[in-house]
């Protein structure tokens, strides 16, 4: 009986102990899960707090606080480069830099705009300025003293021939002054009726300009005109109007050109401008000054810093000048020669500051 009770008590005690162990284990697991949840909650809260702080910092920056690069906010305040709207259209250049670049200026003033008729043609030699020199009698060349390219004077002895008929020697002289352009014999050779040398005098030329039928009524002998070849320009007068020859469909207006300095070349393409009417204007500027920027006609006006871009309104125009309706005042200085360099500099500067 006592042994049975003792066993029964042992069993009950063991059951209670196991229940306590299980309870403690469950409680520990529950506490661990609660701590993990609490830690994760704190972590999320910290991240949220940091996000809010970052948002506030970003919001602060968007309202105009300068960053480490020195740029200001979206409200358009000046950055550390120092560029502002007042610099727009300004080209900074010194007088020394202008001289090096070849930029030249003129001043706006009253002028004359011409209505012109433009004719085209070329330079030709006057017929009397070409001489093909030959021997008077057939014979042997005993002396020939000129080479191609030599300059000769009228009356200068240039060759000596021994006549086949008389066996006597006679001299040949240059009939005109000019330059030897060809030579067709040498000492010891026989010469007959062919040209021995050719001489050209190009000190005076003709400009021959084509006048078509629709232009004929506006062109007359005695009219003055401006004759142009590349950078050369001179004034002359129409001396002849020659009728068409062969298959030509135009008249030829002949104008004399003084070429004693040798600037004009034979065969050069010419343009001639006949003035039909003239108009006086209050202000006129050189055509070379006019530049196109962003679809607008502009001129670069001189100031203390260099030049500023100025939009202009223009009127009548001829080959050299254009009437100025607005944009400059009388006497204002503006860029003429190489003004395109100022345009290029301004465009380059504008492109460099596009963010």
For residue 247, is pLDDT > 70?
yes
Residue 88 banded pLDDT, cuts 50, 70, 90: confident
Q: Residue 296's closest CA among 315, 310, 285?
A: 310
Those residues whose C-beta lies under 8 Å from the C-beta of residue 161, and which sit 6 or more positions away, are 135, 136, 137, 139, 140, 141, 142, 169, 170, 171, 172, 191
For residue 347, what pLDDT is reported?
86
For residue 148, what pLDDT is reported?
97
Q: Residue 102's closest CA among 337, 340, 307?
A: 337
Section 216-221 average pLDDT: 94
Using an 8 Å Cβ cutoff, are 283 and 323 in contact?
yes
For residue 89, what pLDDT is reported?
86
Its pTM stands at 0.57
Section 14-39 average pLDDT: 44
Section 306-329 average pLDDT: 94
Section 92-118 average pLDDT: 93
Residue 352 banded pLDDT, cuts 50, 70, 90: low
* 275 conformational bin, left if phi > 0, alpha if psi -120 to 50, beta if neither: beta
> How far is residue 72's CA from residue 6's CA, in Å, rounded to a whole number?
92
Residue 87 banded pLDDT, cuts 50, 70, 90: low
| Three-state DSSP state, 139 | strand
For residue 176, is pLDDT > 90?
yes
For residue 129, is pLDDT > 70?
yes
Q: Which long-range contacts (CB under 8 A, 24 or more apart) does 24-30 make?
A: none
For residue 318, what pLDDT is reported?
87
**pLDDT tens-digit map of 31-50:** 444 444 444 444 444 443 44
| Three-state DSSP state, 86 | helix
The first and second tokens of residue 285, run together, are 């500027």
**pLDDT tens-digit map of 300-315:** 999 998 999 999 999 9
Section 290-298 average pLDDT: 94
Those residues whose C-beta lies under 8 Å from the C-beta of residue 125, and which sit 6 or more positions away, are 200, 202, 205, 206, 266
Percent over 70 (pLDDT), the chain? 74
For residue 35, what pLDDT is reported?
44
Instruction: Compute the Cα dihedral for 231, 232, 238, 240 and give only its sign.
Output: negative
For residue 59, is pLDDT > 90?
no
């Amino acid at each position: 009986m006592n042994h049975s009770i003792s066993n029964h008590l042992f069993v009950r005690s063991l059951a209670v102990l196991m229940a306590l162990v299980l309870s403690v284990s469950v409680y520990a697991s529950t506490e661990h899960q609660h701590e993990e949840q609490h830690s994760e909650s704190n972590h999320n809260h910290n991240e949220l707090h940091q996000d809010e702080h970052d948002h506030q910092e970003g919001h602060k920056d968007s309202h105009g606080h300068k960053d480490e690069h020195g740029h200001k906010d979206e409200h358009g305040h000046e950055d550390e480069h120092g560029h502002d709207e007042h610099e727009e259209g300004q080209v900074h250049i010194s007088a020394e830099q202008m001289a090096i670049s070849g930029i030249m200026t003129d001043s706006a003033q009253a002028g004359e705009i011409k209505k012109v008729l433009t004719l085209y043609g070329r330079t030709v030699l006057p017929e009397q300025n070409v001489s093909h020199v030959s021997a008077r009698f057939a014979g042997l060349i005993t002396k020939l003293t000129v080479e191609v390219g030599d300059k000769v004077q009228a009356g200068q002895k240039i060759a000596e021939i021994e006549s086949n008929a008389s066996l006597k020697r006679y001299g040949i002289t240059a009939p005109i002054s000019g330059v030897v352009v060809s030579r067709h014999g040498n000492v010891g050779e026989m010469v007959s009726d062919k040209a021995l040398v050719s001489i050209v005098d190009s000190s005076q030329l003709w400009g021959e300009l084509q006048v078509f039928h629709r232009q004929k009524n506006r062109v007359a002998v005695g009219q003055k005109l401006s004759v142009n070849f590349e950078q050369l320009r001179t004034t002359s007068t129409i001396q002849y109007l020659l009728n068409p020859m062969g298959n030509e469909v135009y008249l030829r207006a002949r104008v004399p050109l003084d070429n004693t300095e040798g600037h004009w070349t034979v065969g050069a393409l010419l343009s001639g401008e006949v003035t039909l009417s003239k108009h006086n204007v209050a202000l006129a500027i050189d055509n070379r000054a006019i530049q196109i920027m962003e679809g607008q006609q502009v001129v670069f006006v001189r100031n203390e810093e260099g030049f500023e871009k100025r939009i202009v309104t223009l009127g009548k125009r001829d080959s050299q000048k254009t009437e100025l309706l607005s944009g400059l005042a009388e006497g204002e200085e503006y860029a003429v020669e190489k003004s395109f360099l100022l345009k290029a500099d301004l465009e380059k500067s504008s492109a460099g500051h596009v963010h």
